[in-house]
Amino acid sequence: MERPGKIICVGRNYREHAKELGNEVPAEPLLFFKPPSCVIANGAPIELPADAGRVDFEGEVAVVIGAKLTKASEAQCAAAVRGIVAANDVSAREWQKNDGQWARAKGTDTFLPLGEESRKPHDLAALTVVTRVNGVERQRATTADLVFPIPTLLSFISRYITLYPNDLVLTGTPAGVGPLAANDVVEVEIVGHSQVRSPVVALS
Ligand code: ZN
């Protein structure tokens, strides 16, 4: 997917991932943005900034919105999903911890590899997301494990922020996140639907 509209993400939406970073699962979805300028296509490199410290992969299911959603019900939101995309919510942990705002930690150029958009799946709660680094599986989960399922998440967002066609919502990452290094190759796959593969380079 080349040019999404706005990109809304949710933090800590899988219990085991919240735990691995020492966080509680929030009572409500924890939302943040990534800018469209950080999107890269399948095969394009993730660039590690020289001064970022630890930069992690986060394999995620992303949902493409197909209709305007304002204060919409879960049923309306489920019906408005146009497609899904494999996404890697690349995250600079030290900036995330120290900056207060996550703009740089989550929004640096190349920090959002996206696969091709796949048509809307039959069941939004039965998608399997897998992340591999250098061919080794590091994350695997299904959307049945989401703390806030996709329709619930979209409905919550639409209470405050109108969603438009071509907007993208990242649904959170499962347990198993870890740092990337130069010359790694990281792949995120939504099994049977979409995948994105990214070599990693270090900027000097
Ligand atoms: Zn994420």
Looking at residue 20, its pLDDT comes to 84
Contact 162, 52 (CB under 8 A): no
CA of 107 from ligand 1 middle (Å) equals 11
Q: Per-residue confidence of the chain (204 residues) as pLDDT tens digits?
A: 878 999 999 999 998 887 888 888 889 999 999 999 999 999 999 999 999 999 999 999 999 999 999 999 999 999 999 999 999 999 999 999 999 999 999 999 999 999 999 999 999 999 999 999 999 999 999 999 999 999 999 999 999 999 999 999 999 999 999 999 999 999 999 999 999 999 999 999
Domain CATH number, residue 160: 3.90.850.10
CA of 115 from ligand 1 middle (Å) equals 16
Query: Which residues form the domain of 33?
Result: 7-202
CA of 197 from ligand 1 middle (Å) equals 17
Looking at residue 63, its pLDDT comes to 98
Looking at residue 42, its pLDDT comes to 98
CA of 178 from ligand 1 middle (Å) equals 12
Distance of alpha carbon 66 from alpha carbon 181, whole angstroms: 36
CA of 117 from ligand 1 middle (Å) equals 18
Is 2 part of a structural domain of the chain? no
Return the closest-CA partner of residue 162 out of 26, 60, 67: 67
Question: How many residues in total does the chain contain?
Answer: 204
How many C-beta neighbours within 10 Å does residue 155 have?
20
Q: Which residues surround ligand 1, an ion (CB under 5 A)?
A: 58, 89, 173
Looking at residue 25, its pLDDT comes to 84
Is 159 part of a structural domain of the chain? yes
Looking at residue 19, its pLDDT comes to 83
CA of 203 from ligand 1 middle (Å) equals 23
Give the CA count within 13 Å in the CB-facing half-sphere of 108.
19
Is 1 part of a structural domain of the chain? no
Is 11 part of a structural domain of the chain? yes
173's CB contacts (< 8 A; 6+ apart) are: 13, 14, 17, 58, 59, 60, 89, 139
Looking at residue 1, its pLDDT comes to 82
Q: What is the pTM of this model?
A: 0.96
Is 136 part of a structural domain of the chain? yes
Distance of alpha carbon 44 from alpha carbon 96, whole angstroms: 24
Looking at residue 3, its pLDDT comes to 87
Looking at residue 75, its pLDDT comes to 98
CA of 170 from ligand 1 middle (Å) equals 7
Q: One-letter amino acid identity for 48?
A: L
Return the closest-CA partner of residue 69 out of 141, 164, 146: 164
CA of 78 from ligand 1 middle (Å) equals 21
CA of 119 from ligand 1 middle (Å) equals 22
Is 148 part of a structural domain of the chain? yes
Looking at residue 72, its pLDDT comes to 98
Give the CA count within 13 Å in the CB-facing half-sphere of 74.
7
Is 74 part of a structural domain of the chain? yes
Q: How many domains does the chain have?
A: 1
